[in-house]
């Protein structure tokens, strides 16, 4: 079971099952370095790999639970944000691999 999956499930659903998952996961961290990747269910071995992906998801899940909702309403940033201005400026496109910037190639 991956640590980030447990945190997301625990954040979204308050059930005995998610509480049990969280109880099994609470020791999968190093206070100085962060949360481990997870645990192998079949053997109980701990995958002690530290990844940005897992730790970012843990922080996002905790923020969601504490804030009682997402950071941005409707998944969108403020219209006055820097990102909104960069993404919508037709005379100075960002060229940062946003959807629609890549040319779709035909299959050989």
pLDDT digits (tens, 9 = 90+) for 34-50: 999 999 989 989 999 99
Is 39 within the bounds of a domain? yes
Is 16 within the bounds of a domain? yes
Q: Are 61 and 22 in contact (CB under 8 A)?
A: no
Instruction: Read off the tokens for 60.
Output: 């996002």
Is 107 within the bounds of a domain? no
Is 103 within the bounds of a domain? no
75-92 residue pLDDT tens: 555 667 776 777 777 777
Is 43 within the bounds of a domain? yes
Is 84 within the bounds of a domain? no
Is 22 within the bounds of a domain? yes
14-35 residue pLDDT tens: 999 999 999 999 999 999 999 9
Strand partners, 50: 36
Q: What is the DSSP string of 27-90?
A: TSEETTTEEEEEE-TTT--EEEEE-HHHHHHHHHHHHHHHHTS-SSGGG---TTSHHHHHHH-T
Is 97 within the bounds of a domain? no
Residue 64, domain extent: 3-72
Q: Are 18 and 24 in contact (CB under 8 A)?
A: no
Number of domains composing the chain: 1
């Amino acid at each position: 079971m991956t640590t980030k999956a447990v945190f997301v499930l625990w954040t979204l659903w308050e059930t005995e099952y998610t509480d049990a998952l969280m109880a099994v996961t609470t020791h999968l961290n190093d206070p100085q370095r962060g949360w481990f990747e997870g645990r192998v269910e079949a053997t109980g071995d701990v995958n002690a790999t530290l990844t940005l992906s897992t730790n970012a998801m843990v922080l996002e899940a905790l923020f969601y639970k504490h804030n009682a909702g997402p950071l941005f309403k409707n998944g969108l940033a403020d219209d006055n944000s820097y990102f909104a201005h960069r993404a919508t400026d037709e005379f100075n496109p960002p060229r940062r691999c946003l959807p629609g910037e890549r040319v779709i190639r035909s299959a050989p």
